[in-house]
A and B are shown apart, each in its own frame.
Chain A
């Protein structure tokens, strides 16, 4: 299953990267003559209410969804891990401040954050990136902090202090390599969540702006003409489901490999 998931995910990533070459039509090209068509040899997944090729829109939408779905969690992982390392290692005031901010952000609903940012700035890729990064970073900070706290007292860290190493080197060389495992596991799972959230935000009109395609706003557009042509919704929904499923499978597998506790 893991292998199948990897193949599926690799295929999706490749399609997204080479969207221009793979897509049969321009995803933005409208055609009054061919609106709401059923799947055919010409349009494999039919057309939407503006006559745009659904397959081409899904392929180009994969680009936005994946780019955001990967970059936001990765950015959040980098920021969160850094904050967790600092808080867990140094303790004291730094830890308390980081901890309170973390708690605050965890208690704040992501969608509400999305609405606020979209209202204050604008909707679009960069706003979504910011929202998702802010929403996810505390989760990584927590994991990194807990793992760092456990390692802070490890004899090999004491040995490094006794050697005269600086705190920066100790964090980078002795603590980071030992906490990266749990962070990576969580990262794979949060990529799936980020793709879902991108879809949600775009569906609500807070994300990718039309006419550009993302899986979320394909569903949003499709909703208006659901009874004329359900194909956009079905296709985008399937694309999201398959990607998220594959990511979750991979995440579980990564966790099993890295964590001896769950290895059977």
Chain B
């Protein structure tokens, strides 16, 4: 891969925990994201998958600096977002936007659709007059499949799918090249999900957008992504081209995650890998490999040495001492 649009290096975020008492020191804090590295190419879709609470959404917010990172570098075309000053940051926000999961909470209930969509443009000083704003907003509404007549309505007059279109119009208004899509369809009806996914793909083709598509829905990820990164307890455990991740996962967690996904074909019976226990609390991450407490392959070394992401196949990296094709040894993908 040539120089990526976005390169994340060693990104980490520890949320400070509350002090336990007046004289006691604060607890160890929550390691939401730990030493995460990721490359995203221009005009591509990288999916970030994992269970809820694994740090996917935090990662998306860290990259956009909606949350301040504790460690690491986020290079957007070589420019470090994590170290950018306010003015530089504002300029960078023109290049990178976000689409939120919640189409209801992500818009101020008192502001009109036109005001909502024009807000990033206005913040960036990209619109001069009210007439120009109307024109731009009308164009954006058409691009996302809504009528320009709707611009003076309030968000509550729209359905979830329509609101998500408004959210998309807001995100593309400033002409970004990178968009974090934080579970953009998981709050929507299944019938609407496909429309929104198609809209995202059309816009990507037209505008050469790069997406970081955060999702726990593997079926949609399979449809939209080119590369997939699997997260567990704040770390990327496996990352690679979609085909490799879905067909030849090398990390036992990826294999277990895939085996748990429902299959469209009911005749395809296969063994599900049931992981024992719960995800450990991010306040006390296990030593060594975070996954060892639930991993069927765990050995003594897994508690001692933390596995690093290493190449296991063409373009595919896994963080496991025992990474291998079909690590748990079951037939995947149905029969």
A159 touches B124 (CB 8 A): no
Partner-binding segment picked from B93-101, B204-212, B255-263: B93-101
User: Nearest CB to that of B102 among chain A residues?
Assistant: A155
CA distance A177 to B108 in the complex (A): 10
Cβ of B98 and Cβ of A159 under 8 Å apart? yes
B120 within 8 Å of A (CB atoms): yes
Contacts of B98 in A (CB 8 A): 158-159, 162
Q: Is A126 an interface residue (CB 8 A)?
A: no
Whether the Cβ atoms of B105 and A163 lie closer than 8 Å is no
Contact (Cβ within 8 A) B66 A161: yes
Within B156-170, the residues touching A (CB, 8 Å) are 167, 170
Chain B neighbourhood of A156, CB < 8 A: 105-108
B61 proximity list for chain A (CB < 8 A): 158
Complex formed: what's the CA distance from A163 to B107 in Å?
12
A sample of 13 more A-B contacts (CB under 8 A), given A156-B106, A156-B107, is: A155-B101, A159-B100, A160-B119, A162-B66, A162-B98, A163-B119, A163-B120, A163-B124, A164-B89, A164-B94, A169-B123, A177-B108, A178-B108
Q: CB within 8 A of B93: which of A155, A164, A174?
A: A164
In the A-B complex, the 5 residue pairs with the smallest Cβ-Cβ separation, listed nearest first, are A163-B120, A155-B106, A164-B93, A164-B123, A155-B105
A238 on interface, CB distance cutoff 8 Å: no
Residues of A near B107 (CB, < 8 A) are 156, 159
Q: Is the CB of B105 within 8 A of A162?
A: no
Say which size band chain B's interface belongs to: 20 to 34
Which of chain B's residues has its CB closest to A157's CB? Answer: B108
A97 contacts chain B at the CB level, 8 A cutoff = no
Proximity bits, A161-198, B CB within 8 Å = 1, else 0: 11111100100011001100000000000000000000
> What chain B residues lie within 8 Å of A177 (beta carbons)?
108, 110
Q: Are A158 and B66 in contact (CB under 8 A)?
A: yes
Q: Which residues of A are found within 8 Å of B64, using beta-carbon distances? A: 162
CA distance in complex: A158, B97 (Å): 11
Q: Which residues of A contact B174 (CB under 8 A)?
A: 163
Decide if B90 is an interface residue (CB 8 Å cutoff). Answer: yes
A164 CA / B110 CA spacing, docked (Å): 20
Shortest A234–chain B CB gap in Å is 48
- Which residue among A154, A155, A169 has the maximum number of chain B CB atoms within 10 Å of its CB? A155
A169 to B108, CA, bound (A): 13
B123 with A165: CB separation less than 8 A:
yes
- Shortest distance in angstroms between A96's beta carbon and chain B's nearest beta carbon? 12
B162: shortest Cβ distance to chain A, in Å? 17
Separation in Å of the A122 CB from the closest CB of chain B? 41
Rounded to whole angstroms, the CA-CA distance of A198 and B193 in the bound complex is 61
**Cα distance A169–B102 when bound, in Å?**
23
In chain A between 48 and 106, which residues have their CB closer than 8 angstroms to a CB of chain B?
A: none
**Bound CA–CA A6/B136 (angstroms):** 46
Do residues A164 and B124 form an inter-chain contact, with CB atoms below 8 A?
Answer: yes
A146: min CB distance to chain B, Å: 17
Q: Which residues of A contact B89 (CB under 8 A)?
A: 164
Determine the distance from Cα of A158 to Cα of B119 in the docked complex, in whole angstroms. Answer: 13
Point out the residues of chain A lying under 8 angstroms from B110, CB to CB: 177-178
A119–chain B nearest beta-carbon distance, Å: 35
Do A158 and B100 contact each other (CB < 8 Å), given the known contacts A163-B93, A164-B93, A177-B110? Answer: yes
User: Which chain B residue shows the least CB distance to A166?
Assistant: B123
Contact A154 B105 (CB under 8 A): yes
Within B110-129, the residues touching A (CB, 8 Å) are: 110, 119-120, 123-124
- Check B120 against A164 for contact (C-beta < 8 Å): yes
Nearest neighbor of B171 in chain A, beta-carbon distance: A162
Q: How far is the CA of A166 from the CA of B120 in the complex (A)?
A: 11
Q: Which residues of B contact A174 (CB under 8 A)?
A: 108
Cβ-defined contact, A159 with B106, below 8 A? yes
Question: Residue on B with the closest CB to A158?
Answer: B66
How long is the Cα–Cα vector from A160 to B106 in the complex, in angstroms? 9
**CA A166 – CA B119 in complex, angstroms?**
12
Name B173's closest neighbour in chain A (CB-CB): A163
Q: How far is the CA of A159 from the CA of B66 in the complex (A)?
A: 9
User: What's the Cα separation between A174 and B124 when bound, in Å?
Assistant: 17
Write the chain A residue with the least CB distance to B121: A163
Chain A nearest Cβ from B214, distance in angstroms: 14
Cα separation A178 to B107 with both chains bound (whole Å):
12
Tell me the minimal C-beta distance from A165 to chain B in angstroms: 4
Q: Could you pull out 6 A-B pairs where Cβ atoms are within 8 angstroms?
A: A159-B106, A159-B119, A162-B64, A162-B120, A163-B174, A164-B90
B106 to chain A: closest residue by CB? A155
The closest CB in chain A to the CB of B98 belongs to A162
Select from chain B the residue with minimum beta-carbon distance to A161: B66
- Cα-based distance from A155 to B174 in the complex (angstroms): 19
What chain A residues lie within 8 Å of B105 (beta carbons)? 154-156
Which A residue's beta carbon lies closest to that of B86?
A166
CA distance A163 to B66 in the complex (A): 10
Q: How far is the CA of A52 from the CA of B312 in the complex (A)?
A: 100
User: CA separation between A160 and B100, bound complex, in Å?
Assistant: 12
User: Chain A nearest CB: distance from B280 CB in Å?
Assistant: 25
- How far, in whole Å, are A219 and B93 apart by their CA atoms in the complex? 64
What separation, in Å, do the CA atoms of A192 and B120 have in the docked complex? 43
What residues of chain A lie closer than 8 Å to B124, measured between beta carbons?
Answer: 163-164
Evaluate contact between B108 and A162: CB separation under 8 angstroms: no
The docked-state distance in angstroms from the alpha carbon of A163 to that of B238 is: 32
Closest beta carbon of chain A to B316's beta carbon, Å: 32
The minimal Cβ–Cβ distance linking B20 to chain A, given in whole angstroms, is 17
